[in-house]
């Protein structure tokens, strides 16, 4: 097994609700599917990080929106981590799971750019992991101040301080 893991953040059904779908969602899902396929072809670990929202949230545990999106086809050996904050390492056993498998490099993708992608990228870097961010495999919603495309471009630029930022076609496992 390689020392690289694909870490997919919050690739859950609620991100694609008809009333509020993430920016370029279908394109991002296609990029995520390519990453999953490449990771599996190279025997890289695949980690699904699932956000647990509160009782009235669209990602409340057990709700339809909380479920992993159908692009996430779990296989034997895949890891699933439950989190309640934007940081996939905070109050979870993610770091320990990765260390047990001698993982040193992480490829990050998923949702939401300015929350879980940003926070987990920085947290991984601060824990000594080498991080690659899939520039075209994360997204968010339009904000009050910035449009989603602006948020994504901004974070792809800023997170270069903590990760190598590549398009999915340039990521290797």
Catalytic residues: 116
Largest CA distance in the chain: 44
Q: Please, is 103 exposed, middle or buried when counting C-beta atoms within 10 Å of its C-beta (0-12, 13-18, 19+)?
A: buried
Say whether 123 sits in a helix, a strand or coil: helix
Say whether 136 sits in a helix, a strand or coil: strand
Q: Which of 3, 5, 8 minimizes the C-alpha distance to 137?
A: 8
Residue 131's DSSP bridge partners are: 106
Residue 108's DSSP bridge partners are: 7, 133
What separation in angstroms does the CA of 169 have from each of 5, 15, 50, 172? 16, 24, 25, 8
């Amino acid at each position: 097994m390689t020392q690289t893991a694909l870490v997919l953040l919050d690739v859950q059904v609620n991100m694609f609700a008809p009333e509020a779908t993430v920016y370029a969602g279908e394109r991002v899902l296609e990029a995520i599917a390519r990453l999953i396929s490449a990771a599996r072809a190279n025997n890289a670990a695949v980690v699904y990080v699932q956000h647990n929202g509160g009782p009235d949230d669209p990602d409340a545990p057990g709700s339809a929106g909380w479920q992993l999106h159908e692009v996430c086809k779990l296989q034997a050996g895949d890891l699933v981590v439950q989190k309640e904050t934007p940081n996939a390492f905070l109050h979870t056993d993610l770091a320990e799971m990765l260390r047990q498998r001698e993982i040193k490099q992480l490829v990050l993708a998923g949702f939401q750019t300015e929350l879980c992608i940003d926070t987990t990228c920085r947290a991984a870097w601060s824990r000594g992991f080498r991080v690659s961010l899939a520039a075209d495999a994360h997204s968010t919603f339009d904000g009050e101040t910035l449009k989603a495309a602006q948020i994504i471009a901004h974070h792809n630029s800023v997170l270069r301080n903590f990760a190598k930022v590549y398009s999915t076609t340039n990521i290797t496992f």
